[in-house]
Structure 1
Amino acid sequence: MTALTGGYTEVPVHVPPPVEELPQCKVYRRRWLILTVFIIFSLGNAAQWLEYASISNVVTKFYNVSSYAVDWTSIIFMLTYIIFIFPASCCLTKWGLRKCVIVGAGGTALGTWIKCASLDRDLFWVTFVGQTIVAISQVFLLQLPPEVASVWFGSDQVSTACSIGVFGNMLGVALSFLLTPVVVRNHSNMDDVGSDLARLYYFMAGYTTLAFILIVTLFQDKPPLPPSVVVAKRNAAVPEFIAPLKRLFKNPGFNLLMLTYGLSLGIFNAFSTLLNQLVLLYFEDGQEFAGRVGLLFIVGGMVGSVTCGVILDKTHRFKETTLTLYALAAASLLAITFLLASRSHTAVYIAGAVFGISMGSYLPVGLEFGAEITYPESEGTTSGILLAGSQITGVLFTVAYAWLIKVIGDVWANVAMVVVLVVGTGLTAIIKPDLKRQAANMAALHKQKDDEP
């Protein structure tokens, strides 16, 4: 419409909206150094999770405690995570990556040195105190691989980087399965067992101290420029903690994923904790064999997790990958259930490796799926909640699994775990693959191309 003013016709002028300028982004080569140092720290902490459970039969004799007490050296990792995850997530929001990683690395070294003072046979409580401090420190690392990947890596590498970050944790568990039964042997003379434990404790104390020094000197909070537009926009927002939690718990897809992730990782934790006891039911003096099965279990997961990370970066098929891994986990655990009774080393090795590929790969894949469907929430907060749920189920499943093995036998106990995985597979199929982070990255990429001359 026009208006007449003083004999002139006033023509309205259309003013285009201001063009949003894309923030300056850069991917730095030092990102690989940051990731490597994080892996070194993660390895030292994770190696202690199953340090005692992998030689349960030896620890019970040396410290004169029950197998249930030894189970708690693993369960304490899950329990402390449940208690401290929300304070740790708040610290991550307030402090940033560097301070949280320093606290985690320092606590890990401290707890490991305390265990060096527990070499007398009546000092199991001292070793448990040290183990508890290491477990609390784990809270400051377990949720961080997606955050480290997001802060330092470009959108085309973030899933791969997250998988490699988880790789360090799994490598620590693998080395624990492999080396602990070799270093600490099932001697009849308890003095010899004590000497073996001393070698293990002091080696781990030296390693975690070195990891702490590397973290303090080399690990940085974030690069000068963000690696992607998505991260730049998130950095520009005002840091919050309570509001994102409310939004996450109102997200139906995330709530379903939290349930399925908890079921899968809960069984992973329970099976890993009780593997030594399961194998010894069928293989006499099978302590080292159990360690090798555990090694294949974890190595399979390491290879699978990195492979799946590359696949996700190339295909972005998050739901399909998650669903496939879940179904494979159920099938391979069922196979292990009956192959143990065959007492075939080769068959158990193969089934253990396949089970490890599926369960270990699901760990980072599930975290990345969660980051996709909850964007623009912090990856650290999202992964922290997913892992907290898995630690709750880990405690419940470990206690229930141990009880079922004693009451109804290992076969039916394993069948019960398989049923849980089948239910989880069905629930995973319901999750809507609303990949918000990918959509934001694609929108930014299209805009950048449109702005090019």
Structure 2
Amino acid sequence: MTVEAVSLRQKNPVQEEDVEEELGEIKLYKIRWVIIGIFVLYAAVSAVQWVQYSIITNIIVRYYGVTPVAVDWTSMISMITYPPLLLPGSYMIDRIGLRSCALIGVVGTAVGTWIKMFSVQPHLFMLGFAGQTVVFVSQIFILSLPPKVASVWFGPNEVSTACSLGVFGTQLGTALSFILPPLIVRNHDNIDDIGKDLSYLFYGVGAVITPVVILVFIFFKSEPPLPPSIAQAKLRLNRSEFSNKEFLNSYKSLLTNMPFMVLSFAYGMNIGVFAAVCTLLNQFILTYFPNSEKDAGTIGLLLVVIGMLGVVVFGVILDKTKKFKEVAIALEVAIALYVMTTIGLIAFMIALETYSKVLVYISACVLGFFQNAYYAVGIEFGVELSFPQPESTSSGLLLAVMQICGVIYTLLLGECLSRFGAFWALSLMVIFLGIGTLITIFIPNILLRQEALGLTAEKNAFLPKNKNRRH
């Protein structure tokens, strides 16, 4: 295996020897980029199925003869299955490691995808729903892994970027989930023609997931032979045998960690609103622009693609400036993104009222950029606030709160849309975002990762500055 060796040898050889003697050798392996690349594919193939039905709600309603609410549930099932499976899923991640969980998750995703391939008959909606359920039960081994993969495989100056890339996979799949169904499945007069289009859609995803299973089996590893950073070296040095008591204590620690819990509620409200709006996007767009299924898909695509740009931009900025470990800076970033997300949703709501597709597209870009950036920044902020608890546990709790909020908001949004119209339904979501902004402001200041690790200024000086140095 080819490696990039990162030397700790700096200007003070005496202190450097103490660090190496205590923690051992630190290396960055080139295969880490293969690992994160596979994870991106893995996450994308799962996420591409999120709004696969709901972005073409009107067509699915015609083909299967079901209600719009039933179609909404094909998206909400991803949110409803996650919270109750969080504890057993996190237990397995900590118990059997990254590789085994990745294999279980990708095989489960493949099985659910294959089930849907056999559901293309007007009377087989529930079979497709069962496949969708299997896919999103398997997602428990995807959503909470980016910070875990990043910290286990990447150096201290790369963690934010790697975490952002992991989130990028989910966002990429979500983007394709918006655009592919409207492009492939047309609202034909003939029901049989709709069935043929649905077959193309489901078989296409099935053709992609199979090689991804093989890639995960061959290349995906739990951890590198040597740690990539002082932080991981310390954790390995102090690592003990897994125990049920320690696992439950980690959750107890998080649930009693006030700053983390405050962030959890704020995070859940923000991303929950995004999930609800995306689930009902087809219905919102068709309310103002009839027969515009393709526009709904394109607007959803922009929400996520521009959002992916925001994820990467903020990930790189936080790595380059090395400011994320400062509480004040972290809070300022989170609050700023929350405020801009709220403004973006207000702009989207007003743009719909103008019946101008151009303004709707522009406002969707603004909303997507800041809301998706908050998605990634919020996860990493949660990891910092909860250190030294496992990354998969802290991010899992954040996502569980988000999923619960997503289900509640989707049901509220759908009810308000049918009773009072799109404007007032979206106004309710703006109110929730405003409350979330206020909650974020009151996140208490605590010592973050570097202080929790007990790293002194002298030892921090040994953090690798040139990843191309070799022993």
> How high is the TM-score relative to the length of structure 2?
0.90
Distance in 1 between the 2:457 and 2:107 partners?
A: 41
Matches within 5 A, 1:402-421: 402-421=414-433
Greater than 6 Å deviation, 4+ residue runs: none
**Native 8 Å contact 2:46 2:139 kept in 1:** yes
Q: 1:335 aligns with which of 332, 347, 359?
A: 347
Deviation at 1:449, TM superposition (A): 4.5
- Who is 1:38 aligned against? 39
**Native 8 Å contact 1:373 1:433 kept in 2:** no
**Native 8 Å contact 1:312 1:318 kept in 2:** no
Distance in 2 between the 1:287 and 1:270 partners?
A: 18
**Native 8 Å contact 2:272 2:409 kept in 1:** yes
After alignment, is 304-313 or 227-236 more displaced? 227-236
Q: 2:250 aligns with which of 239, 244, 269?
A: 244
Q: 2:300 aligns with which of 269, 294, 302?
A: 294
Q: Any idea what the Cα deviations from partners look like across 1:235-263, whole Å, max 9, x if unmatched? A: 33223310111111111100100110111
User: Does structure 1 residue 320 correspond to structure 2 residue 361?
Assistant: no
Matches within 5 A, 1:177-192: 177-192=178-193
Report the 3-state secondary structure (helix = DSSP H, G, I; strand = E; otherwise coil) of the residue aligned with 2:227: coil
- Who is 2:275 aligned against? 269
Deviation at 1:375, TM superposition (A): 0.9
- Who is 1:129 aligned against? 130
- Who is 2:467 aligned against? none
**Native 8 Å contact 2:144 2:392 kept in 1:** yes
**Native 8 Å contact 2:388 2:452 kept in 1:** no
- Who is 1:362 aligned against? 374
Distance in 1 between the 2:107 and 2:196 partners?
A: 26
User: Does structure 1 residue 395 correspond to structure 2 residue 407?
Assistant: yes
Matches within 5 A, 1:63-82: 63-82=64-83
Alignment-mate amino acid for residue 237 of structure 1: R
- Who is 1:4 aligned against? none
Matches within 5 A, 1:1-400: 21-235=22-236, 236-238=238-240, 239=242, 240-313=246-319, 314=321, 315-316=323-324, 317-400=329-412
Report the 3-state secondary structure (helix = DSSP H, G, I; strand = E; otherwise coil) of the residue aligned with 1:111: helix
- Who is 1:436 aligned against? 448
Report the 3-state secondary structure (helix = DSSP H, G, I; strand = E; otherwise coil) of the residue aligned with 1:27: strand
- Who is 1:10 aligned against? none
% of aligned pairs identical? 43
**Native 8 Å contact 1:23 1:229 kept in 2:** no
Alignment-mate amino acid for residue 257 of structure 1: L
Distance in 2 between the 1:268 and 1:448 partners?
A: 38
Distance in 2 between the 1:438 and 1:426 partners?
A: 27
Distance in 2 between the 1:373 and 1:309 partners?
A: 17
**Native 8 Å contact 2:54 2:75 kept in 1:** yes
Distance in 1 between the 2:376 and 2:370 partners?
A: 11
Deviation at 1:441, TM superposition (A): 6.6
- Mark the CA change 1:248 to 1:370 in structure 2 (over 3 Å): closer, same or farther: same
Distance in 2 between the 1:332 and 1:65 partners?
A: 33
Deviation at 1:423, TM superposition (A): 0.9
Deviation at 1:234, TM superposition (A): 2.2
Distance in 2 between the 1:300 and 1:419 partners?
A: 24
Alignment-mate amino acid for residue 273 of structure 2: I
Deviation at 1:231, TM superposition (A): 1.6
Number of aligned residue pairs? 434
Report the 3-state secondary structure (helix = DSSP H, G, I; strand = E; otherwise coil) of the residue aligned with 1:241: helix
Q: Which has the larger radius of gyration?
A: 1
Deviation at 1:139, TM superposition (A): 0.8
Deviation at 1:450, TM superposition (A): 8.2
C-alpha RMSD over aligned residues: 1.6
- Mark the CA change 1:121 to 1:372 in structure 2 (over 3 Å): closer, same or farther: same
Distance in 1 between the 2:293 and 2:421 partners?
A: 20
Deviation at 1:358, TM superposition (A): 1.2
**Native 8 Å contact 1:318 1:433 kept in 2:** no
Report the 3-state secondary structure (helix = DSSP H, G, I; strand = E; otherwise coil) of the residue aligned with 1:155: coil
**Native 8 Å contact 1:115 1:201 kept in 2:** yes
Alignment-mate amino acid for residue 292 of structure 2: G
Q: Unaligned stretches of 5+ in structure 2?
A: 1-17, 464-471
Deviation at 1:161, TM superposition (A): 0.6
**Native 8 Å contact 2:23 2:233 kept in 1:** no
- Who is 1:8 aligned against? none
Deviation at 1:24, TM superposition (A): 2.3
**Native 8 Å contact 2:23 2:234 kept in 1:** no
Distance in 1 between the 2:114 and 2:124 partners?
A: 14
Deviation at 1:432, TM superposition (A): 2.7
- Mark the CA change 1:224 to 1:57 in structure 2 (over 3 Å): closer, same or farther: same
